[in-house]
Amino acid sequence: MRTLAPTAVTALGARVLGLATLVHMAFPTAIRLASANFDIQAPSGLYRGAAGLGSISQIDDSPGEIKGLNFSLSGVPSEYIALALDDAAIVQGTPVTIRTAILDGETYALCDEPIVWQGRLDTMSIEEDGNTCTIAVTAESTAVDLLRGNPLTYSDADQQMLYPGDVAFGFIVSQINKPIVWPDKQWFQAKGA
């Protein structure tokens, strides 16, 4: 569990509260957008105000089910359109982080920016209707990694692959079904231990 900064706790208790969603897509040229109508300078970078230009599907954290997110951004600058048209290998697997910016209600100064969701981009497409252009992006949560199994086992072969020369797992097979006998407490007392 993450603790909020004291200034954020104060801002959350104030009469007026400012919140914004910060989206960071870690392309070689990073894309950082804020749901506010002004730019937000955060320790994680400068987020461009993009209020009303897009949407993010609701983050639904239900037990036992891991869901992805859908992003859409309309009125897109030409450099972002070029990115969407580029090779899919650039998009697929790109890390994306969503934060909630807690802002002071009076000065709109950033108090804290806790991470609310992390994942990797999956697909990016362009929807065009003649007048406007919208980029639609899907992403899957990094929690999906928890469902994938570990391809390695606790065997001598896997240990040798990771750490050549380590023979610790080489003795496991010979020790199967061998009884372990511990000395009686009198043995330790006789030794002066």
Q: Supply 150's token pair.
A: 């570990």
> Is the same domain home to 173 and 122?
no
Is this model's pTM higher than 0.85 or not? no
Is 104 inside any structural domain?
A: yes
Higher pLDDT, 14 or 52: 14
> Is the same domain home to 122 and 166?
no
CA distance 172 to 121: 42
Is 1 inside any structural domain?
A: no
Mean per-residue pLDDT for 153-169?
Answer: 88
> Is the same domain home to 19 and 110?
yes
- Residue with structure tokens 């043995």? 187
Mean per-residue pLDDT for 34-57?
Answer: 82
Number of domains in the chain: 2
- Residues spanned by the domain of 162: 156-191
> Is the same domain home to 140 and 59?
yes
> Is the same domain home to 40 and 17?
yes
